[in-house]
Amino acid sequence: MASRWADTEADAAEALRKKKEKEEKKRLKLRKQQAEEAAAQAALEAEARPSKRRRLSSGDDEAAEAAPSKEKEAERNLLRFEAGGWAPCRHTSNFETLNHIEEGSYGWVSRARELSTGEVVALKKVKMDLKQDGFPTTALREIALLQRARHPNIVSLHEVLSGSSPDEVVLVMEFVEHDLKTLQEDMPEPFLASEVKTLLKQLVGAVSFLHSNAILHRDLKTSNILLSNRGHLKIADFGMARYIPPPNAPLTQLVVTLWYRAPELLLGAEDYGAEIDMWSFGCIFGELLSKSPILQGKNEVDELSLIFALCGLPSEKSWPGFYRLPNARSLKIPRDTGARAAGQIRAKFPFLTNAGAELLSSLLSLNPEHRPTAEEVVNHSYFKEAPKPKPMEMFPTFPSKAGQEKRRRRASPNAPKRGDGHGVQNVDFSSIFASRDDEETGGGFQLKMV
């Protein structure tokens, strides 16, 4: 039922008016928004379009021409540095081969001269076996590790060359005059104690650098250690080197030259670390003292016998894990070694100081866990006692076989031998004083005894 006070027509007219008013406000608001968007778009286009510069006088043209020249001059004064990048390998024709040095297990080494600069370098031609293995893994490891191992006592790799055939790859390295093995063979006497310390300190510094960068050399020996005429030592030949793997990762035991191979490798260990390099370092230490390798075994069994004779027999106390090694089960070693476990290192090197003997004995410890690290050897007291390491500037020089140098020998009289002296008999010395009468004579002087 409708109210008696309601005005139906008036209410409908009022609702219609409010609806029209509301629609008009919406239309005005939409028009305002469209105008604002158009203005913003015009402003963006005006900013993107380059502004026209008004020409006022001829002086503006001169200023406009001078501005670019100043910018170019400022650009020329900027310092620019060459950045590394990719480039094709150079050809071997850029080098002149001077002489062949030696043939190794993984390549041929020769001495050469770069034609553009005259620099003497060492070229190592990689041995290829494309039918079986393709590009050698040893060469890949050597290139990768030498690029990372930048150290004063590690030979530097300059570049890699390509030859006339696709399978000819040559490594360009710095040339160093000697290797320790050849040098010691030509020396009449071994190095002095101060010289041995100089060599060992450089060698262990390089080994410490390798181990701190998780690199195992796995073939340290005197033929792979180079020495310059300025007493600068460098480690070379990284063909067997590799990064230290995670713990318990299986590795091959067929590494390191036999005379420098650690006993755990001879016994078939497949889990090893930096201790094998420290054993090789100890063998090099003894070789520098005696001028010849100290463990010259004919085969692996003979090498083990020499090691046990020098370092003593292993026991459960000195090397608990010895009998668990694969090849140790076939060895007949008495369990109660007694006095034979002491070794003969001190007797073999009687002139070595107590600190030196302790260092050598620890390096040649049968148990790998008892060998010192390279960092511990660097700080050992042996290098701080007298005689101190000789400065490299005072190191003796030797003729280089690799450089085809020969020792210069000046003619000198021999020492007199019994029965050779005949005295001075019937010798005419008149010709020596023949022209003395024709010489001009002056006032001279006279000595008077008082």
Q: Active-site positions?
A: 219
Sheet containing 95-103, strands listed edge to edge, beginning at the edge strand earlier in sequence: 95-103, 107-114, 120-126, 169-174, 157-162
Q: Residue 196, CB half-sphere, CA atoms under 13 Å: how many? A: 23
Q: What are phi and psi of 48, to 5 degrees?
A: -70, -30
Residue 144: count of CB within 10 angstroms of its CB = 15
Q: Are 43 and 49 in contact (CB under 8 A)?
A: no
Give the Cα separation of 218 and 261 in Å (integer): 9
Look up tokens 């420098």; give the residue. Answer: 260
Using CA atoms, how far residue 427 sits from 364, 424, 430, 431, in Å, is 68, 7, 9, 11
C-beta of residue 187 within 8 angstroms of C-beta of residue 291: yes
Contact 157, 173 (CB under 8 A): yes
> Which single residue is written with the structure tokens 């010489």?
439
Residue 34 tokens read as: 């469209």
Alpha helices per DSSP H over 149-228? 180-186, 193-212
Closest to 252 (Cα-Cα) out of 235, 269, 228: 269
Helices 275-290, 354-363: crossing angle, 10 deg rounding: 140
Backbone phi and psi for residue 215, each to the nearest 5 degrees, phi listed first:
-120, 130
Burial class, 104, CB count within 10 angstroms (exposed 0-12 / middle 13-18 / buried 19+): middle
CA 25, 30, 33, 35 dihedral sign is negative
Which value, to the nearest 10 degrees, does the dihedral of the CA atoms of residues 272, 275, 276, 279 take?
-150
- Spatial separation of the C-alpha atoms in residues 123 and 108, rounded to whole Å: 8
Dig out the tokens for 146 from the structure.
């030498």
Residue type, 268: G
Torsions phi, psi for 173 (to 5 deg): -125, 165
Q: Alpha carbon of 1 to those of 5, 6, 7, 13, 440: distances in Å? A: 12, 11, 14, 22, 171
